[in-house]
Structure 1
């Protein structure tokens, strides 16, 4: 089992992250990755950029706790979570979640669980810049409902 958590301003390479999950890993038959990017529209408004802030130290602990919960539910081995902070432009990558497991069902479920809980529990604050000005975003009701289904 290997966990990697990084909160960073710099972009990341999906190929490098995938390689880190799979390198010298002959125990796991499944690797599931998710990447999220800044969209150009949200709730019908044109988005110009997204600024992400966090609480250093607390954020990493929160992500580690989310991964620990996933480990209690599913048989998973390597987990990599990268979340960017700072001002991001349209199309830029925000988040990477990668999970390996001997079985695909566990890898899919754990990856989705980690991403769902990251959206509602991790101490990130998101501010969108739109045509109508800047606005701070709350967790969407659908994200909260999805997390409650776990």
Structure 2
């Protein structure tokens, strides 16, 4: 049975294990590109001590699956794995993993960046940060919308 392409989970993930699983049994893989997003200590000029991510179960997975389908349409890639954590997260915790395999590096880089741009704007996640001034919900960023538009996709946030 093939591993799922998308996982939404509270538990941390093992990057090496995920990459190995995606590469397994595919001798055509010549490139692996990965992106790992982590919880940082600042956002929009404010200190951040923790964050919490919420999602809409079922809808979130479906949206990310659609993004992956679009990546396969646009790029000559061999495999994709996306893991996104939800729930409470502390500084330096891993939040998201995107892994793309292809025959050549350029395609993997492009597809990985495309998927991250898509995830930042189109995936139904809600992020709340804990700051010295209290908790705050994080709005979509104009820069993320602009990054998506370079792929010819208009953000639903615009």
TM bucket normalised to smaller = over 0.9
How far apart are 1:57 and its partner, in Å?
0.4
| Distance in 2, Cα, partners of 1:2 & 1:77 | 14
How far apart are 1:50 and its partner, in Å?
0.7
Q: Name the structure 1 match of 2:58.
A: 57
Q: Name the structure 2 match of 1:107.
A: 108
Structure 1 unaligned runs (5+)?
Answer: none
Q: Name the structure 2 match of 1:136.
A: 137
Q: Name the structure 1 match of 2:37.
A: 36
CA root-mean-square deviation = 1.2
| Distance in 1, Cα, partners of 2:43 & 2:59 | 28
* Cα contact 1:2–1:79 (8 A) shared by 2: no
* TM-score for the superposition, normalised by structure 1: 0.97
How far apart are 1:3 and its partner, in Å?
5.4
Q: Which 4+ runs in 1 deviate beyond 2 A?
A: none
Are 2:1 and 1:18 equivalent residues in the alignment? no
User: For 1:87, what is the secondary structure of its paired residue?
Assistant: strand
| Distance in 1, Cα, partners of 2:138 & 2:144 | 13
| CA deviations over 1:83-110 (Å, ceiling 9, x no partner) | 0000000000000000000111111100
How far apart are 1:15 and its partner, in Å?
1.0
Larger deviation: 15-24 or 27-36?
15-24
User: For 1:83, what is the secondary structure of its paired residue?
Assistant: strand
User: For 2:148, what is the secondary structure of its paired residue?
Assistant: helix
Q: Name the structure 1 match of 2:124.
A: 123
| Distance in 1, Cα, partners of 2:49 & 2:4 | 33
User: For 1:36, what is the secondary structure of its paired residue?
Assistant: strand
How far apart are 1:2 and its partner, in Å?
7.0
| Distance in 1, Cα, partners of 2:23 & 2:32 | 8
| Distance in 1, Cα, partners of 2:109 & 2:4 | 17
Name the count of aligned residue pairs: 150
How far apart are 1:64 and its partner, in Å?
0.5
